[in-house]
Chain A
């Protein structure tokens, strides 16, 4: 296959200028649009898709497979659209198009599965969840669900989140679905915060009203539609408890995650399914291999430490236009276990490419977390600082706590002068480099 050599050569050359992830595949697809139909996949191919957590889950499954002694090809460091997957697969293929690996682990954007998986059929596809995510680009979760449905080939076995009703409804009419979940004994949403919206209010199938026995997070939990009876399936594998810094999986197996939080619990449960049901490992071996994995992927370094003046800063990478990510961060940093805290939220820019300035997503965030008494100062920074402040004030956050800095240099000064207690800074990857650059300048 000429395409294989072309893609490999392009990757070699373009990697030198940092463009070796997506562009080689894009060039190859331009010349041979159906090139992936000619590829012979490894015997075990696992794709990962969904709104949140797919990069982490891909990395966990990749590390799990490698730990089990399989040779693995993955796009975990690169683009998750068809171009990136083409680069990853062809770069690992021989001249006949056979991918030289035991296992392929492929992260795929949820809206673009339909293009990639019209050409290749993964043996299994993990569908993590569908949340409100970058709605200016993606539209709403019902729209994404419709798009994702086109990208789940009948020949692929689905590994699905039993707790998330929107994506789980895609299993209708499919046999042999593997379900994962998190039991209420591990995580259960507290009642102290009234959420801004509820995507679990109505059934994604019939729009009847839903009842929940409990919720794990947002619209994830034990749901049942009062009209059509659609309900949470019983998971085959689940995080069933927490013991210190370990998850308990299936009531028996201890796995230490990088961080004990809800998203990691779902990621571990999904990876556990892949290990036991697809890779053919024992539960004991799967738990052993998943234990204490520190995610190395650069995209996943979400927590960093900085020093600003005499203040130690914990930086937490978040995602603009993704209320689940921000709410999880707000919940975490305002936890009273930290003692007194100050929180800095930067929203300066949504997109580097397009005119995209819609701030309606701020109304999906639970600013009420900042009402907690241990939150001493909240600095809203960046061009949209006033939008953040008005949203927080609307939620009843005390005006005396709030500082707004549309200028990021002013924000740095206020971090030094006005914060109290432990200091957290959070923003999206579009704005994170600005904070990073200011910290470097500060410490130069």
Chain B
């Protein structure tokens, strides 16, 4: 049984981030591995200590600060889980919560979870870019997009090396990795968008290499990935913005 802690799915619900938890559960179940999704949100704080992975997504900036305020009540527990090697996937704005602080538009610094050393600062400008990235979890290229008004500063180990950044907003690396904690600005259902990354994560959580998924659903997911990869590779080759 793999227990998936899904944090603030109702408040951090931008860009279809909710799919990361449900797609992961589906992948496990289609390989005969039982899973359970445990929802955690404002006013609903089940015990997360038995979770194998915590997944948290993207919200508005103010929504993220509201979540952070709520999440600070279990800050110590989350740090212990991170130190113990539990998996965490924090995408989009929730990545900022993993750091030491988030500074809002009024210049107020909000204490973060401090699982990874670094800071996140909100600003007024919106930036959007599409990416081809590489990471150690999969040999396949990771595809995704970032739609942000934040700047991150950290000396921690980056999660991704950047191969293509359509609008040139990030630099050579992106995100953070600490033990099995992943923080990335990549948003949306990245486990749906990147089926090999999904397989890798699901296999690690299941404790065995999962067999190839040949369901109709998965065939479409794979084809969708190949289609987007071709588009982005072509854009990269031609220097399109």
A contacts, CB < 8 Å to B? 132, 135-143, 146, 196-199, 201-202, 207, 209, 354-364, 383-384, 386-387, 389-390, 393-394, 399, 404, 406
| Given A360-B188, A361-B16, A390-B217, CB of A140 within 8 Å of CB of B130 | no
Task: Out of A358, A361, A383, A393, name the residue touching B216 (CB < 8 Å).
Answer: A393
Please state if B128 and A136 are interface contacts (CB–CB under 8 Å).
yes
| Given A197-B13, A363-B188, A389-B220, CB of A139 within 8 Å of CB of B147 | yes
A363 engages B221 (CB within 8 Å): no
Cα distance, A143 to B105, chains bound together (Å): 12
Per-position 1/0 for B137-173, Cβ under 8 A of A: 0000000010101000000000000000011000000
Contacts of A143 in B (CB 8 A): 60-61, 126, 149
Docked complex: B101-133 residues within 8 A CB-CB of A: 124, 126, 128, 130
For residue B166, which residues in chain A have a CB less than 8 angstroms away from its CB?
354-355
Interface size class of B (residues with CB under 8 A): 35 or more
Q: Determine the chain A residues whose CB is within 8 A of the CB of B223 once the complex forms.
A: 386
Q: How far is the CA of A354 from the CA of B231 in the complex (A)?
A: 12
CB distance A209 to B42 under 8 Å? yes
A58 to chain B: closest CB distance in Å? Answer: 26
Decide if A394 touches B188 in the complex (CB within 8 Å): no
Which residue on B lies nearest to A111, using beta carbons?
B126
> Which residues of B, 42-75, contact A by the 8 Å Cβ criterion?
42-43, 60-63, 66
With A139-B149, A209-B42 known to touch, is A354 a contact of B63 (CB < 8 Å)? no
Q: Which residue on B lies nearest to A138, using beta carbons?
A: B126
Whether B224 and A142, one on each chain, are in contact in the complex, defined by CB atoms closer than 8 angstroms, is: no
Complex interface: chain B residues within 8 A of A196 (CB)? 16, 18
Chain A nearest CB from B220 CB (Å) reads 4
Is the CB–CB distance between A355 and B235 below 8 Å? yes
Q: Name A363's contact: one of B16, B227, B231 (CB within 8 Å).
A: B16
User: Within 8 Å CB of B217, what residues of A?
Assistant: 390, 393-394
**B192/A390 in contact, CB under 8 A:** yes
Contact present for A135 and B220 (CB under 8 Å): no
The residue of chain B having its C-beta at the shortest distance from the C-beta of A137 within the complex is B128
CA A140 to CA B15, docked complex, whole Å: 9
- B47 CB to closest chain A CB (Å) equals 22
Q: Is B10 an interface residue (CB 8 A)?
A: yes
Alpha-carbon separation in the docked complex, A404 to B18 (Å): 25
Does B216 lie within 8 Å of A140, measured CB to CB? no
Q: Are B128 and A357 in contact (CB under 8 A)?
A: no
> Hey, which chain A residues are within 8 Å of B149, CB to CB?
139, 143
Min Cβ gap A231→B in Å is 19
Chain A min CB distance to B167 (Å): 8
Question: A356 to chain B: which residues have CB within 8 Å?
Answer: 128, 130
CA distance A362 to B10 in the complex (A): 17
Contact with A along B218-241 (1 / 0, CB 8 A): 101101100110011001000011
- Contact assessment for A364 and B10 in the assembled complex, using a CB-CB cutoff below 8 Å: no
Of the residues B189, B231, B241, contact of A357 by C-beta under 8 Å: B231
- In the bound assembly, the distance between CA atoms of A141 and B14 in angstroms comes to 10
Q: How far is the CA of A138 from the CA of B17 in the complex (A)?
A: 18
Q: A356 CA to B130 CA in the complex, in Å?
A: 7
* Contact (A363, B220) CB under 8 Å given A207-B62, A209-B42, A357-B231: no
Is B206 an interface residue when CB atoms closer than 8 A count as contact? Answer: no
Complex Cα spacing A136 to B167, Å = 12
Chain A to chain B contacts (Cβ below 8 Å), 15 pairs: A139-B126, A199-B13, A209-B43, A355-B232, A357-B228, A357-B231, A358-B145, A360-B145, A361-B16, A363-B15, A363-B16, A363-B18, A386-B221, A393-B216, A406-B227
By the criterion CB–CB under 8 Å, are B16 and A404 in contact? no
CA distance A142 to B216 in the complex (A): 37
A364 & B16 in contact (Cβ 8 Å cutoff): yes
Does B210 lie at the interface of the complex (its beta carbon under 8 Å from any beta carbon of A)?
no
Q: B62 to chain A: which residues have CB within 8 Å?
A: 142, 207
Contacts of B167 in A (CB 8 A): 355
Residue of A137, A202, A358 touching B63 (CB-CB under 8 A): A202
**Smallest Cβ-Cβ distance to B190: which chain A residue:** A360
Other than A357-B145, A358-B15, give 19 A-B pairs with Cβ distance below 8 A: A135-B147, A138-B126, A142-B63, A143-B60, A197-B13, A202-B10, A207-B62, A209-B42, A355-B240, A356-B130, A358-B130, A358-B188, A363-B15, A363-B18, A364-B16, A383-B231, A387-B224, A393-B216, A393-B217
Task: Output the nearest chain A residue to B93 by Cβ-Cβ distance.
Answer: A140
Q: Is B199 an interface residue (CB 8 A)?
A: no
